[in-house]
Amino acid sequence: MSADAQTPAEPRPKAEAVVLVGGRGVRLRPLTLSAPKPMLPTAGVPFLRHLLSRIRAIGIEHVVLGTSYKAEVFEEHFGDGSDLGLHIEYVVESEPLDTAGAIRNVADRLTADDVLVFNGDILSGVDLAELLDTHRDTAADVTLHLVKVDDPRRFGCVPTNADGRVTDFLEKTENPPVDQINAGCYVFRREVIDSIPNGRPVSVERETFPELLASGARVQGYVDASYWLDMGTPAAFVRGSADLVLGNAPSDALPGPTGQALVLTGAKVAEDAVVDAGSTVGENCEIGSHAHVSASVLFEGVTVEDGAVVERCVVGAGARVGAGAVLRDVVIGDGATVGADCELLAGIRIWPGVELPPNGVRFSAD
């Protein structure tokens, strides 16, 4: 080989992924006081693990996590990603950069031509391989996963033409012209990521995508009616976890056999207790005689005493629910105690370590 011969360039990987997990999860407090939202136990494992398993299933091996709030928690749990068959890198946002700004912030870690980008709090059944194929087959600059919803008024909507090209980005309106919305999952051509302004907040919906449309770039829509859920509220979090356990939402990361419930290692459930509707009972929990846990998520070390009822709730690690207590649609923080015969209803949130007295105290957010 001559002295000036060039070493052949390494082939680029077929695609990479970016997952944006920097949010503070304010709507899920007090659960997110101790852990970022994507790390909350969901059907027995951190929520992010379900998404990472789906990314790996389509052959992607390199994932960059865009972190901010409690950034160290992600690396402590996932490390380099090798136990998932991944190579995971971490990039910390020192200040909020919005969605496009956060994508641009990780650009120096990317080498592939096509980059899948995910909001880290969305539970979805979209066919990721087909989404990527659509992006390539249409030679798109950006492809958006668009999902059809029953009531698009709560969201901005995204119209497309007969070729599937996006024609506009519309804010929330009482009379949306289409029922398809931005589902928080994209495929970017690498050059588009490099064109996003660096070092400042940039919104994909208000700046990046409209500017691409105005420039004549091809912004493609991939429209489907697959399972889709924004996990940002307690009610949605409970529903999403239950749907994973019941098999309504896809995942290869479930840590044990399911059915009507997922009961993890070391948990003790009385023979006459009922645990159903997709509930998860965390490690070393105890469920007492004649208790009923329905469509709920119990983190590790929770005690539900005899005769208590827990429906559509999230109960934090080490919390205790007293005998005969009734909890419906509430959040109990880590280490809190709900006294015997208390009744908590409709959106009540109990902060970590709080102790509610027994004897029939009734609380409701209504």
Where in the chain are the domains?
Answer: 16-232, 256-364
Interval 20-76: pLDDT, tens: 988 877 888 888 888 888 999 999 999 999 999 999 999 999 999 998 888 888 999
pLDDT at 361: 63
pLDDT tens-digit profile of 165-208? 999 888 777 777 888 988 989 999 999 999 999 989 999 888 99
Whether residue 10 has pLDDT greater than 80? no
> Is domain 256-364 annotated with CATH 3.40.605.10?
no
| 142-173 pLDDT, tens digit each | 999 999 888 878 887 899 999 999 998 887 77
In Å, what is the CA distance from 27 to each residue of 79, 177, 218, 314, 344? Answer: 27, 29, 35, 13, 19
Cα separation values, 359 from 68, 152, 193, 323, 351, Å: 43, 45, 59, 10, 20
Q: 325 near 3, Cβ under 8 Å?
A: no
Cα 146 from chain centroid (whole Å): 17
Average pLDDT, the chain: 89
State the Cα–Cα distance between residues 290 and 203, nearest whole angstrom. 51
* Fold of the domain built from segment(s) 16-232: Spore Coat Polysaccharide Biosynthesis Protein SpsA; Chain A (3.90.550)
User: 1: pLDDT confidence band, cut at 50, 70 and 90?
Assistant: very low
CA angle 350, 353, 359 (to 5 degrees): 65
Q: How many residues can be counted in the chain?
A: 366
User: Average pLDDT for residues 320-328, to the nearest whole number?
Assistant: 96
DSSP 11-48: PPPS-EEEEE-----GGGTTGGGTS-GGGSEETTEEHH
Condensed to tens digits (0 to 9), the pLDDT of residues 269-298 reads 999 999 999 999 999 999 999 999 999 999
Question: What is the pLDDT, as a whole number, of residue 4?
Answer: 47
